[in-house]
Amino acid sequence: MVQQVLYRALVSTKWLAESVRAGRLGPGLRVLDASWYSPGTREARKEYLERHVPGASFFDIEECRDRASPYEMMLPSKAGFADYVGSLGISNDTHVVVYDGDTSGSFYAPRVWWMFRVFGHRTVSVLNGGFRNWLKEGHPVTSEPSRPEPAVFKATLDRSLLKTYEQVLENLESKRFQLVDSRAQGRYLGTQPEPDAVGLDSGHIQGSINMPFMDFLMEDGFEKSPEELRAMFEAKKVDLAKPIIATCRKGVTACHIALAAYLCGKPDVAIYDGSWFEWFHRAPPETRVSQGKGGKA
């Protein structure tokens, strides 16, 4: 396992409330609301405009992605990411805190945490407990949109944290990486459908291990302790001393696996960005495992 001093991946609601109260938000500390919801459920930007952490900007994951890709939520280019976060007042010297408004406590925030890290930014944290607990604890909110002074962000792609279809395909033979899937068990097994999906059956990549991302969170929306997280990896026979690739449907909840491992002292979990959506459309049928539809997805 890599021995290095890791930047804190989580900050508490109490710490952020004190930072807001002390007027620390600015070029050195930026807060992002990274909420996203399935179409027809909730409207993330509308909710941000109604109430958010004072000083927070809205991080629109629909804007900050590769919109030319046929696959879901793929990473933007280095230049695209740099321009987007620079417009939010974020430079390479900024501590970024990310949260979302999901009822689980955290859903999309770890994806944005990983996006900053894959583009070379170390000083990024997730708000532990999310906006759900910020509200529950009575911390201040505002409807006033933030207008940060634009900054210059220089992005460098850390390829060790990102895996492609070709690399995952090669890994089926080499087995150098453990492949861990963060989707709910039914979707992984192929016994439950993929939500909001047309032409996408459920199932999983051959050889992958299932660790549903919701299991990393406590019922109150806070992240489980490193000791509990380590025991979860051990129970699934996932060795934190060896390389891991995390996957899901579109590279979002896979980032919860990366975050959980990071909290256990392992900062090098790579994300298969295309995940099941790309795999289903590109991979040989025998590598798509499902308990539905006669055993293949």
Residue 187's contacts (CB-CB under 8 Å, 6 or more residues apart) are 193, 194, 202, 249
Q: Give, in degrees to the nearest 5, the angle at Cα 21 between 20 and 27.
A: 40
- Cβ neighbourhood burial of 105 (10 Å; 0-12, 13-18, 19+): buried
Q: Is 255 a catalytic residue?
A: no
CA 180 to chain centre: 14
3-state secondary structure of 205: strand
Q: What count of residues does the chain have?
A: 297
DSSP string computed for 230-244: HHHHHHTT--TTS-E
Rounded CA gap, 136 and 297, in Å? 42
> Alpha helices, DSSP H only, in the chain?
13-21, 44-50, 78-87, 109-118, 130-136, 165-174, 185-189, 226-235, 254-263, 275-282
For residues 2-28, one letter each, b for 16 or more C-beta atoms within 10 angstroms of the residue's C-beta and e for the rest, the string is eeeeeeebbbebeebbebbeeeebeee
Q: Which of 64, 248, 255, 264 is catalytic?
A: 248
Q: Using the 8-state DSSP alphabet, how is residue 283 labeled?
A: S
Please report where in the chains the tokens 């890994």 appear, as a residue: 171
- Catalytic residue numbers, as ranges: 248
